[in-house]
Amino acid sequence: MDNNDKEKFLEALLKGDRKGGSAIAKKYVESHSDIKNFYENIIKPSLYKVGEMWEYNIISVAAEHLATAVSESIMNELYEHVISENRSPYKIVLGCIEKEQHQVGVKMIADVFEMHGWDAFFLGANTPNADFIDYIREIEPDLIGLSLSIYSHMPSFEELIKNVRNEFPNKPIIVGGQAFTHGGEELIRAHYNIILLRNLSETEQYIKHFEDEHKR
């Protein structure tokens, strides 16, 4: 990875320069490894920096929202390079809790599952809890993924975890997001069969472990 690319990508996000950001992204489409490198080492730290700048009132809410929108649009451009022709029999439903607006991180996770041939049903941000559970019931996935970016939303997050557990007591749940850099591991330990994944590398390791354990 070129550190200049990370600096230029952050600059493009802050300017709302989709064309400039897209030009950088196109350097990372030769393989799934390249795309994951782009996600983990360019998009992720850039958006963390944007969030930090918003938190300290260096940029406006509008600028933060624009940076996020540009990042998502660029990721959508990469989808044809993400999807794997070698399909897996497994399914995952992923999303965020109610009032949680940050969905780029969980979209990255959805894309990694797609790279491994899974059917990833990405519900995005601010999904009502009841609708999330209804969709899980409809799809009957092998795995559930939940993301949390704002630490103050942890009580709502735990409420959703409890509701999912009541409906699907044995279904594995993976969780992640920037909120867990501030804590929350005690919540994970308090519930059965919930796994905290901190980055794309840990996600890949988990996918391989899951597939080895559930060969069809």
Query: Average pLDDT in the 178-207 region?
Result: 90
| Residues 95 and 200 occupy one common structural domain | yes
The pTM assigned to this predicted structure is 0.92
97 and 75 within one domain:
no
- 74: domain CATH number is 1.10.1240.10
Q: HEC states along the chain?
A: CCHHHHHHHHHHHHHCCHHHHHHHHHHHCCCHHHHHHHHHHHHHHHHHHHHHHHHCCCCCHHHHHHHHHHHHHHHHHCHHHHCCCCCCCCEEEEEECCCCCCCHHHHHHHHHHHHCCCEEEECCCCCCHHHHHHHHHHHCCCEEEEECCCHHHHHHHHHHHHHHHHHCCCCCEEEECHHHHCCCHHHHHCCCCEEECCCHHHHHHHHHHHHHHCCC
**Do 63 and 129 share a domain, yes or no?**
no
Percent with pLDDT over 90 in the chain: 78
Q: Give me the percent of the chain exceeding a pLDDT of 70.
A: 99
Listed residues 64, 82, 100: the one ending a domain: 82
